[in-house]
Structure 1
Amino acid sequence: MYENVEVVKIPKERTGALIGTHGEVRKKIEADLGVELEIDSEGEVTIYSTEEQKDALALWKARDIVKAVGRGFSPEKALKLLSDEHSFETIDITEYASSDKALQRLKGRIIGSSGKSRRYIEELTGTHVSVYGKTVSILGEIEPVQIAKDAIEMLLRGTSHSKMYKFLERHRQDVKRSELRLWK
């Protein structure tokens, strides 16, 4: 009956956000992409392609939307992934941490004092950043997501915040110059 299937595991406390009030988030994903979602109480989400599938990438888009909600993004932000211009990246912080204490320290470096570092990354790249569990995830337009990912990985490798901020400032100016060229 179903040709293609994707299975994603999300934290069970995020299943309510994925379903939405009266199921509207789930229904929107299913209607917009022509897929079917099966969500169990343990957080396992099975995504089925259907004959109503509207896009060859629908299954992958649905998978990324489910993962984004699972990583702490609001459904409204995650639904931006319906667009071909948006992407989603997740970095496993444990790849950079040697202990639980190191993991907490690295999460703190990304977030910064009162959320300043995370906010700065978001403002300079136009992306959304979520630090959740043992991961940091980025959602936004394709090129800015890559720039934000590079900046976050700099922090995870121990680069100073000031060097990372300079990196972002340099890239922001490059993005503005390329946008100006498009308008000329």
Structure 2
Amino acid sequence: MKADLKIPEDRIGALVGEKRRELNRLERETHVKIRVKDNDVFIEGEAENVWKARDVVRAVGRGFSPVRAVRLAKDSSLEIIDLSNLSDSRMKAVRARIIGRGGRTRELIEEFTGVYISVYGKTVSVIGDTGVAAALEAIEMLIKGVRHGVVYEYLEDWIKTRKAIGD
């Protein structure tokens, strides 16, 4: 099977890495062959492996480091929230709310839910497994303007609920 996709030109270097190191590692871990030309990425291999590699490449294109993106080759998922429907000024404010002062809000959501978050361009992306839904809910709350304290309380309640059910 084959897959072709585009990623932003400024993310090609992160995908390929110095002396093709990241690309070689990705090929090894996903058992596919990857070719890059300009900002086009061509993936070839067995269907399941191509899908996994495609998700990893998409994640790198959305601002994740290859090390974090490779988590998708295992049993994690990638969710992308598109902010392009917001005005430029509103998008800037939303991005700032999600990142938080010194990156602290993003870090707290990551710590509470066990996910990775990337705010890049007009998107917010999340990589993870069981905590993805809670992280997405917290991000949506921030987009809607809910106070940070309320979002943190939601995440604390989510953790308490998980502990109560033994997850």
TM-score of the pair, normalised by structure 2: 0.92
Find the aligned partners of 1:126 and 1:93 in 2 and give their Cα distance: 23
1:124–1:168 CA contact under 8 A, matched in 2: yes
Select which of 5, 8, 13 maps to 2:5.
Answer: 8
**Quick one: which of 90, 109, 112 aligns to 2:97?**
109
Max Rg structure: 1
The whole-number CA distance in structure 2 between the counterparts of 1:19 and 1:174 is 41
Q: 1:135 aligns with which of 114, 123, 128?
A: 123
Instruction: Say which SS state the counterpart of residue 147 (structure 1) adopts.
Output: helix
**CA deviation string 1:6-51 (max 9, x = no partner):** 222111111111112221221222223222212112x1112122xx
Q: Which blocks of at least 5 consecutive residues in structure 2 are unaligned?
A: none
Determine if the alignment matches structure 1 residue 45 to structure 2 residue 41: yes
The answer to whether the 8 Å contact 1:110/1:155 transfers is: yes
Q: 2:14 aligns with which of 10, 17, 20?
A: 17
Matched, 1:168 2:164: no
Q: Output aligned runs, 1:14-93, within 5 Å.
A: 14-41=11-38, 43-49=39-45, 53=46, 56-84=47-75, 86-93=76-83
Aligned partners of 1:26 and 1:37 also within 8 Å: yes
Does the 8 Å contact 1:93/1:156 carry over to 2? Answer: no
In 2: Cα distance, 1:172 partner to 1:72 partner: 27
User: Percent same amino acid at aligned positions?
Assistant: 41
Deviation at 1:147, TM superposition (A): 1.0
**In structure 1, the residue corresponding to 2:146 is in which secondary structure?**
coil
Matched residue SS, 1:158: coil
Whole-angstrom CA distance in 1 between matches of 2:153 and 2:111: 14
Contact 1:37 1:46 in 2 (8 A): yes
Aligned residues: 167
Equivalent position amino acid for 1:14 in 2: R
Query: What is the alpha-carbon root mean square deviation over aligned residues?
Result: 1.6
Where structure 1 has 5 or more consecutive residues not aligned to the other structure, the ranges are: none
After superposing on structure 2, the runs of 4+ consecutive aligned residues of structure 1 that deviate more than 6 Å are none
